[in-house]
Amino acid sequence: MTSPTKQNAGRLLVFAILIVAGVAFVAPLAWMVSTSLKPLNETMSLPPRWIPSEIQWRNYPDAIREMGNFWLYAGNTLLVCVLSVTGTVASSALAAYGFARIEWKGREKVFWILLATMMVPFPVVMVPIYGLFKDLGWIGSFKPLWVPAFFASAFNIFLLRQFFLALPKDISEAARIDGCSEFGIFFRIILPLCKPALLVVALFQFLASWNDFLGPLIFLTEQKDFTLALALQSFQSQQGGTSWHHLMAASTLVLIPVLALFFLTQKSFIEGIATSGGKN
Amino acid sequence: MTGGERRDLATGLAFISPWIIGFLAFCAYPVASSVWFSFCDYSVLSPAVPIGAQNYIDLANDEVFWTALWNTLFFSAVAIPLGILVALALAILLNFDIPGRGVFRTIFFLPSLVPMVCLAVLWQWLLNGEVGLLNNVLNVPLEALNALLGTSLAAPNWLADARYAKWGLVFTVVWGVGNAVVIFLAGLQDVPRHLYESAEIDGAGFWQKTLHITLPVLSPVIYFNLVMGLIGSFQVFAVPYVMTGGGDGPERSLLFLATYLYQNAFDFWNMGYACAIGVILFLLILACTLVLRSLSERHVHYAGK
């Protein structure tokens, strides 16, 4: 048995390591915000200063102006996010139900195929998909960014299936005896019970669409259609690494909605990630 | 098949039909046509012309391709184990009963939420050779060392130096490891308490408990994170692309397979060649996953589920 003194010393050491690691993890974000509030000359000062001599809030409106149509980009991003979230929640829930709560011949084999598709990275398929969307005349529109979401994603199906499987079979049986249709059971009984899981999928998809860079890069052609991620990259490449205070302000602006969403839904969020790692 | 079974099959297929269409349109068809195009001269603008294995022969003789392949393998070989090690260590530390656990967990998780473009722009700034935060921190101990030993050590100009650019990218991966921390932490909750208690009675210390109880119980989760890390780092694109201002770094040190695929497809409109790179990328992921799988059958411990 370890002695209490030794145990306390151990916990103190753990705490000290966590403090150091915590500082290291927070420092980059703190530096980003700090830089975003500095006058230009202080961004380069040596040794670095954390607190600007005067907090320069106008970096934010300046960055918004320099990025061009910031609010238009934000609107584009939001539109793509909302459509993708709607599409993937509806279609993935349907498919996950089919994999979790109806027993049909060959189900396990088909599910195995679904898991295998997660191994196919987007760059591998992006050329034919680009060709497909080009034939449809969709290049330069938002459609390539949200239409695929209506055809379910393997990861979201996997996640929702985990939740659906956890519900007892009796619920469905009872409803079936009462003459409820399969879709009725799905829509009126199972979905309401799985609202937290649907929220998790919605959150993950929102973030994925908000963060997506490669999709907008290849499918969008005109500046006015850019999403925030693409607009930020284009702003950065125009700047060529000079106005760091404006770049950091723009980055902070793109990050804030993500952080806000996280803090509002922290509990579901963390549970969702834990589930994705094979818990249950 | 009985009537009931047939009805269940029809209902099941009806429910999964969105996925079936998506699978055919956005996975099966593109994978098949990627393979086909990889044997063609194809530019999207004109129909594909079959040219046999020419793209693969060209790839074998293309030094740039070998650079991209080497960079991808090197980056994966460093970033995946390092990321898992850091995540595992943080999760084990967070599993101790200490004040502020929730706050620490949030702190370690936050960076993994940062959108990739923001992350790239931010780290380009942090890794700046002269005024970057990282070098200003590193230079403090280095200068002390120099004063003491008369050496002239200095922190490198990360992204501008071909020898260190990939390490700069590795920092961003380690910083964004929070997702894995949360997954490991959840896995740690599944470790049966009584195992630790009986080990303590037998006089086992922290390291023995970690090695003989925690790691075996966590092994399925470690395996999961390895596979996810593998798939992610083999297709690394956005962060190095943005960090280098849409380029591939000094002496192509930040050129990865996905970058080269992108350049061939959308800068040079050499789509057949790009597809050949894609096929190789896919085969690499497949091969590595299969190797991991066979390793996991020997070393991963699944509690009687």
ipTM: 0.91
* A 96-135 near B (Cβ less than 8 A): 97-99, 102-107, 110, 113-114, 117-132, 134
Chain A residues within an 8 Å CB radius of B234: 121
d(CA A212, CA A84): 12
Which of the pair, B96 or A45, is modelled with greater confidence? B96
Q: Residue A270: left if φ>0, alpha if ψ -120 to 50, beta else—which one?
A: alpha
The answer to whether A264 contacts chain B (CB < 8 Å) is no
Burial (CB < 10 A; 0-12, 13-18, 19+), residue B284, is middle
Residue B50 main-chain phi, psi, to 5 deg:
-60, 135
CA angle B20, B22, B25 (to 5 degrees): 110
The answer to whether B297 contacts chain A (CB < 8 Å) is no
Domain end point (choices A13, A29, A60): A60
The answer to whether A276 contacts chain B (CB < 8 Å) is yes
Exposure string over B69-106, b if 16+ CB within 10 A, otherwise e? bebbbebbebbbebbbebbbebbbbbbeeeeeeeebbb
Q: Partners of B49 in the beta sheet?
A: B41
In this structure, of A138-152, B116-130, B181-195, the range with the lowest mean pLDDT score is B181-195
In this structure, of A56-65, B18-27, B145-154, B165-174, the range with the lowest mean pLDDT score is B145-154
**Helix or strand (DSSP H, E) at B20:** helix B3-23
In this structure, of A104-118, A166-180, B172-186, B248-262, the range with the lowest mean pLDDT score is A166-180
The pLDDT assigned to B292 comes to 92
d(CA B215, CA A26): 28
Query: Are A237 and A100 in the same domain?
Result: yes
d(CA B205, CA B196): 10
* B 27-66 near A (Cβ less than 8 A): 27, 29-31, 33-34, 37, 44
d(CA A147, CA A134): 14
The answer to whether A260 contacts chain B (CB < 8 Å) is no
Burial (CB < 10 A; 0-12, 13-18, 19+), residue B265, is buried
Q: Partners of B50 in the beta sheet?
A: B40
Q: Which fold has domain B61-299?
A: MetI-like fold (1.10.3720)
Chain B residues within an 8 Å CB radius of A18: 93-94, 98, 104
- Given an 8 Å threshold on Cβ–Cβ distance, is A120 in contact with B187? no
User: pLDDT tens across B203-237, in order?
Assistant: 888 888 888 888 988 888 999 899 999 999 999 99
pLDDT at B145 over 50: yes
The pLDDT assigned to A222 comes to 95
The answer to whether B266 contacts chain A (CB < 8 Å) is yes
The pLDDT assigned to B43 comes to 87
The pLDDT assigned to A279 comes to 47
Distance of CA B74 to the CA centre of its chain: 12
Q: Partners of B41 in the beta sheet?
A: B49
The answer to whether A31 contacts chain B (CB < 8 Å) is yes
Which residues contact residue B227 at a Cβ distance below 8 angstroms, ignoring those fewer than 6 apart?
B289, B292
Which residues contact residue A15 at a Cβ distance below 8 angstroms, ignoring those fewer than 6 apart?
B98, B99
- Given an 8 Å threshold on Cβ–Cβ distance, is B18 in contact with A152? yes
Chain A residues within an 8 Å CB radius of B262: 123, 214, 218
User: pLDDT tens across B291-300, in order?
Assistant: 998 988 887 8
Q: Please, are residues B258 and B281 in contact by the beta-carbon 8 Å criterion?
A: yes
Picking from B26, B97, B275, the nearest residue to A127 by CB comes out as B275
Q: Partners of B40 in the beta sheet?
A: B50
Tokens of B41: 């001269």
d(CA B55, CA B38): 7
The pLDDT assigned to A278 comes to 58
The answer to whether A56 contacts chain B (CB < 8 Å) is no
* 3-class SS letters over chain A: CCCHHHHHHHHHHHHHHHHHHHHHHHHHHHHHHHHHCCCHHHHCCCCCCCCCCCCCCCHHHHHHHHCCCHHHHHHHHHHHHHHHHHHHHHHHHHHHHHHHCCCCCCHHHHHHHHHHHCCCCHHHHHHHHHHHHHHCCCCCCCHHHHHHHHHCCHHHHHHHHHHHHHCCHHHHHHHHHCCCCHHHHHHHHHHHHCHHHHHHHHHHHHHHHHHCCHHHHHHCCCHHHCCHHHHHHHHHHHHCCCCHHHHHHHHHHHHHHHHHHHHHCHHHHHHHHHHHCCCC
Residue to mutate among B2, B7, B17, B26, with most A CBs inside 10 A, is: B26
Query: Are A55 and A70 in the same domain?
Result: no
Chain B residues within an 8 Å CB radius of A270: 105, 109, 182
Domain count, chain A: 2
- Given an 8 Å threshold on Cβ–Cβ distance, is B16 in contact with A35? no
The answer to whether A210 contacts chain B (CB < 8 Å) is yes
Query: Are A36 and A158 in the same domain?
Result: no
Query: Are A76 and A112 in the same domain?
Result: yes
Chain B residues within an 8 Å CB radius of A276: 183
Query: Are A47 and A156 in the same domain?
Result: no
Chain B residues within an 8 Å CB radius of A255: 113-115, 118
Which of the pair, B154 or B265, is modelled with greater confidence? B265
Burial (CB < 10 A; 0-12, 13-18, 19+), residue A169, is exposed
Domain extent listing, chain B: 61-299
d(CA A37, CA A122): 37
Beta strands in B145-286 (DSSP E): none
The count of CB pairs under 8 A between chains A and B is 289
pLDDT at B304 over 60: no
The pLDDT assigned to B162 comes to 92
d(CA A218, CA B56): 24
Please name the amino acid found at residue A104: W
Please name the amino acid found at residue A24: A
Domain end point (choices A19, A45, A60): A60
Query: Are A39 and A160 in the same domain?
Result: no
Query: Residue B303: pLDDT band by 50, 70, 90 thresholds?
Result: low
Domain of residue A38, residue span: 4-60
**Within 10 Å of residue A229's Cβ, how many Cβ atoms?**
26
The pLDDT assigned to A280 comes to 40
Residue to mutate among A124, A151, A220, with most B CBs inside 10 A, is: A124
Query: Are A255 and A133 in the same domain?
Result: yes
Query: Are A200 and A246 in the same domain?
Result: yes
* A 65-84 near B (Cβ less than 8 A): none
Q: What averages of pLDDT result for each successive group of 10 residues across chain A (280 residues)?
A: 73 93 96 94 84 92 93 97 97 96 94 93 94 95 97 94 90 88 92 92 95 96 96 89 90 96 89 71
Tokens of B217: 């119980």
Instruction: Single out the residue of A139, A85, A39, A93 nearest to residue B45, CA to CA.
Output: A139
Domain end point (choices A60, A83, A108): A60
What CATH number does residue A212 fall under?
A: 1.10.3720.10
Instruction: Single out the residue of A242, A68, A197, A87 nearest to residue B131, CA to CA.
Output: A242
Query: Are A72 and A44 in the same domain?
Result: no
Instruction: Single out the residue of A125, A91, A85 nearest to residue B25, CA to CA.
Output: A125
